């Protein structure tokens, strides 16, 4: 992988898979939006950035230091997705799904933001999830600047924990509001230590998350996969259920994917949903 400075951007030339469109559209994150010119702007880990692709290279705003301290890990550049993609192709269906989703990478997201976002995601569609997360950020997030524009980071757990249920009303998050508040309080009071959870076994981390009201199997799996770096998690939502029903009438044992189960899930999800 080659990395060089190019104006106010860093130019990365990966040797494996990278597709901004697929990364931001495979359902794992909610704060990246496409610009008219095809680039994407988003806020993650407290800072805003713009990402674009051109002739096999990826351009990310910021300095080499920003890249090395933040974006390299966020975009999981330490992992080889071409290799992992091939390991996902365990049968004809997965070969097709992984080819279709070529370019997907699993982001290493902020733990609290992921926890909160996936609580919000339950029984909701993506535009509405994005809207609620965006509103939270604009109301209570810290400001961060990019190219002369002001953006808002996702508010930290302490900030949200200080709010009342009434103050959450502008989110229109419905019955999820108490779940959000409870999670914020658990995290800010240190009764739920997400950093510590990331060092536990997958099953134990998931079990602990599911002790919180509003967090079931699916949400917990999303949190451990997308923010606790547990790549064998395999979240099952309605799209994956459909895919399994259609292509694996006898069921699917996700352990065949091993450490790539989460990536396989992303390929299946994107293949199932994007073609609709």
- Chain positions contacting DNA, by CB under 7 A: 26-28, 121-129, 169, 172-176, 210, 212-220, 222, 235, 237-239, 269
**Phi, psi (degrees; rounded to nearest 5) at 249:** -60, -25
Q: Least distance to DNA from the beta carbon of 175, Å?
A: 4
Least distance between DNA and beta carbon 60 (Å): 22
Q: Are strands 9-13 and 2-6 parallel, antiparallel or unpaired?
A: antiparallel
Backbone angles phi, psi at 161, to 5 degrees: -65, -25
What's the closest the beta carbon of residue 270 comes to DNA, in angstroms?
Answer: 9
User: Is 61 or 117 the residue whose CB approaches DNA more closely?
Assistant: 117
Q: How far is the CB of 67 from DNA (least distance, A)?
A: 25
Q: Which of 11, 21, 131, 218 is catalytic?
A: 218
Going across the sheet that includes 9-13, the strands are 2-6, 9-13, 57-61, 47-54, 40-44, 32-34
Rg of the chain taking only CA atoms, in angstroms = 18
CA dihedral (149, 21, 58, 2) in degrees, to 10, reads 140
**Residue 22 bears catalytic tag:** no
Q: Phi and psi for 57 in degrees, rounded to 5?
A: -115, 155
The residues carrying an active-site annotation are 218
């Amino acid at each position: 992988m080659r990395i060089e400075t190019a104006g106010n951007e860093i130019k990365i030339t990966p040797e494996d898979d990278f597709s901004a469109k697929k990364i931001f559209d495979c359902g794992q994150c909610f704060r990246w939006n496409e610009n008219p010119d095809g680039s994407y702007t988003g806020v993650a880990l407290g800072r805003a950035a713009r990402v674009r692709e051109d002739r096999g290279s990826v351009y990310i705003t910021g300095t080499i230091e920003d890249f090395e301290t933040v974006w390299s890990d966020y975009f999981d550049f330490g992992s080889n997705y071409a290799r992992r993609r091939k390991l996902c192709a365990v049968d004809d269906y997965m070969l097709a799904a992984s080819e279709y989703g070529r370019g997907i990478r699993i982001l290493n997201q902020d733990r609290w933001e992921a926890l909160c976002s996936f609580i919000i995601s339950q029984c909701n569609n993506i535009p509405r999830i994005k809207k609620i997360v965006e509103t939270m950020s604009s109301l209570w997030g810290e400001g961060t600047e990019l190219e002369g524009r002001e953006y808002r980071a996702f508010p930290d757990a302490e900030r949200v924990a200080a709010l009342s249920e009434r103050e959450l009303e502008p989110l229109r998050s419905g019955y999820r509001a108490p779940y959000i508040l409870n999670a914020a309080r658990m995290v800010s009071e240190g009764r739920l230590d997400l950093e510590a959870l990331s060092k536990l076994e997958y099953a134990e981390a998931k079990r602990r998350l599911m002790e919180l009201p509003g967090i079931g199997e699916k949400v917990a799996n999303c949190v451990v996969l997308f923010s606790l770096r547990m790549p064998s998690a395999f979240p099952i939502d309605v799209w994956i259920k459909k895919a399994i029903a259609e292509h694996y009438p006898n069921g699917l044992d996700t352990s065949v994917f091993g450490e790539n189960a989460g990536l396989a899930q992303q390929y299946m999800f994107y293949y199932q949903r994007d073609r609709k």
